Structure 1
Amino acid sequence: MQVEQAGGFILDKIKKELPKHFHYHNADHALDVYTAAKQIAAGEGIIGDELELLLTAAYYHDSGFLFGQVNHEAGSCKNARQHLPDFGYTSDEIEQVCDIIMATKMPQNPHNHLGQIICDADLDYLGRNDFFILSKRLFSELVITDHLESELEWDRQQVKFLQSHHYFTQTALRLRAEGKNEHLKIITKKI
């Protein structure tokens, strides 16, 4: 498995082909999830082939936006199945990558440890210091893609989302739960 080469390939494809209105779900987000997955995996003791499969899934998890927003996880698996054989992945490894990717479909429902890690990595920003910067990017994307009409509507959605969200891994809980709760308090005060 040539993880970095496979990742570089899909990041380049996303940068070149993704419509510009995806201010959040873009190559920067893929790299962000890759970095978070690596950090959480280290905390959870994931090494070897499992780590390589997880990091590959992080690179590819939202590449399905190249085909459109709806059911993009299936599109991400389509990209994985089409391109990963060129980077030394077996069909079994590709299916494992797709299984990890599908865990990120909302509402998140991971059924194994790697799925839990990618779910936590995908929403790692909820508890980080750059939450409001990334949240603003997501808002500007959703104004275009989901016809979101106001910041007040966005704040209400975020409160509902933050209240219902939970991290799966002990590492993410330790690193991000407190920050996420602080962000929830700040937004709740706004509305």
Structure 2
Amino acid sequence: MNYELSRRITAYFGRDAKRIHHAMQVYGFAETILLSENITGDEREIIETAALIHDIGIPEAERKHGSSAGNFQEAEGPPIARAILEELSYPPAIIDRVCFIVGKHHSYSKIDGIDFQILVEADLIVNIFGDAMSQKATDTLISKHFVTATGKEIAEGMYQGY
């Protein structure tokens, strides 16, 4: 189903290549982490799905609030994600969990499972580079928010001494 979701995300973001690239990059890192951490079944589907759709609220946040700030993404994303996932016939339990993650993915204190953790790590790996963060900010993010061995290994390998 994720190939259908990938196509839907691409169509939804239209000419916003930056958002499409971001979703695909987060998906790639999430896939690497979850496979290395031996995640299977529903957790795997949740991570893959959340990785593709986590920023779906950005266009609506910008339209309604004039900002893509995390709190606006979290507010606007879940209803859009739910509609897309229902249309693609995802199971209700997967939809509920993905929408929870989409609605909290910038609220790191709300992480409550490995599925949510891996999405955050993959998103941060991509954002550290995209936001050109300072070394100090990068080191702080890695030490505070990376839990999986694979996520830490990737982030430290890419960004220590960056």
TM > 0.5 fold call: yes
Partners of 1:28 and 1:72 lie apart in 2 by 17
TM-score (norm 1): 0.69
Q: Which residue is equivalent to 1:4?
A: 3
Distance 1:161 1:3, change over 3 A: same
Work out whether 1:164 is the aligned partner of 2:143: no
Partners of 1:106 and 1:182 lie apart in 2 by 27
- Which one is further off, 53-62 or 5-14? 5-14
Note the C-alpha offset of 1:106: 4.4
Unpaired segments of 5 or more residues in structure 2?
A: 62-67
TM-score (norm 2): 0.80
Work out whether 1:135 is the aligned partner of 2:111: no
RMSD of Structure 2 on Structure 1 (CA): 2.3
Distance 1:15 1:97, change over 3 A: same
Question: Percent identity among equivalent residues?
Answer: 25
Note the C-alpha offset of 1:50: 1.8
Note the C-alpha offset of 1:108: 5.8
Unpaired segments of 5 or more residues in structure 1?
A: 137-154, 184-191
Q: Which amino acid aligns with 1:173?
A: K
Note the C-alpha offset of 1:34: 0.6
Work out whether 1:65 is the aligned partner of 2:58: yes
Q: Quick check: which has more Rg, 1 or 2?
A: 1
Q: Which amino acid aligns with 2:53?
A: Y
Q: Which residue is equivalent to 2:114?
A: 113
Q: Which residue is equivalent to 2:155?
A: 176
Q: Which amino acid aligns with 2:83?
A: Q
Note the C-alpha offset of 1:100: 2.6
Q: Which amino acid aligns with 2:153?
A: R
Larger RCO: 1 or 2 (CA < 8 Å, sep 6+): 2
Q: Which residue is equivalent to 2:92?
A: 91
